[in-house]
Amino acid sequence: GLTETEHILKGFAAGGVDYVTKPIVAETLIARMYAHLVNARVAQSTRAALDVTGRTLLAANHRGEVLWCTPQTTRMLEAAFGSSAADGLATGVSLPEEARLWLADRQTGGGGRKPDSVVIATFADGRRLRLSPVGQTGPDEILLQLAEESGAGEDRLLKDKLSLTPREAEVLMWVANGKPNRDIAEILGLSPRTVDKHLEQIYAKLGVENRAAAAAMAVRALNGTR
């Protein structure tokens, strides 16, 4: 029943995506509902497609409130924070404090180099969940990628000892831990095809022909043996 412009603007400012005033016209109301359902299905299909390709993505505003995330991202958050917290993160609750401070810091001006990413969780075995920016998708919507890193600096050790790039070292580290390509792709936020490409480069640099030989060389490097 509030039909003045100020009321309509207040409704949208509160987060509404539509505003219907009395008297209600059934045909118009149904048309509006249909349009919203179509848009929701498109958004859901897009997120499902991103999930199938192994993209662990989420969107947040500058206050650190999660706007949406792919199903794989929800599973990673669930592993770190528990199912109830992950459900909340996927439906608008704020990211952990470290991420909120990092996002706020990236928005502020002034000198100093801003951190490229932030660790939002650390597991008992040393693995970490790291959040990195992908791009700005709206005035107050930032696209972020969530990736799992190994603990104990094993990837950095492989990089230095075997003269690999940082990403190649991460891939090799997970190969040495017995992970198949699809799991590696999910952990690192890559496509399986990209993991294959990295492995080809790793084999060439190490002078080996298969993943078993590459894994053995990685284990020797990590154990400090020749």
Q: pLDDT band at 197, cuts 50/70/90? A: very high
User: Bridge partners of 147?
Assistant: 130
Q: Following DSSP, what letter does each residue of 23-80 receive, concatenated?
A: SP-HHHHHHHHHHHHHHHHHHHHHHHHHHHTT--EEEE-TT-BEEEE-HHHHHHHHHH
Of 15-29, 54-68, 114-128, 135-149, the range with the highest mean pLDDT is 15-29
Query: Model confidence over 80-124: pLDDT tens digits?
Result: 877 655 555 555 577 888 888 888 887 775 555 566 788 888 777
Q: Residue 107: CB partners within 8 Å, gap ≥ 6?
A: 62
Residue 189 shares a structural domain with residue 216: yes
Residues 24 and 81 occupy one common structural domain = no
Tens of pLDDT, residues 129-161: 888 888 887 788 888 988 877 655 677 788 888
pLDDT single digits (tens) 163-179: 998 889 889 988 988 88
Whether 50 has a pLDDT exceeding 80, the answer reads no
The CATH number of the domain holding residue 194 is 1.10.10.10
pTM beyond 0.75: the answer is no
> At which of 95, 129, 149 does a domain end?
149
Q: Which CATH number characterizes residue 138's domain?
A: 3.30.450
CB 96 within 8 A of CB 56: no
Q: Are 145 and 59 contained in the same domain?
A: yes
Q: Are residues 158 and 127 in the same domain?
A: no
Residue 40: pLDDT above 60? yes
Task: Give the C-alpha separation, 174 to 218, whole Å.
Answer: 10
Backbone angles phi, psi at 135, to 5 degrees: 170, 175
Query: Exposure string (b/e) for 70-87, b if CB count within 10 Å is 16 or more?
Result: bebbbbbbbebbeeeebe
Indicate if 67 and 126 belong to the same structural domain.
yes
pLDDT(15) > 90? no
Q: Which domain, by its residues, includes 111?
A: 55-149
pLDDT at 126: 67
Give dist(CA 35, CA 14) in Å, integer.
Answer: 21
Tokens at residue 64, please? 């650190």
Tell how far CA 4 is from the center of its chain. 41
Give the number of domains in the chain: 3
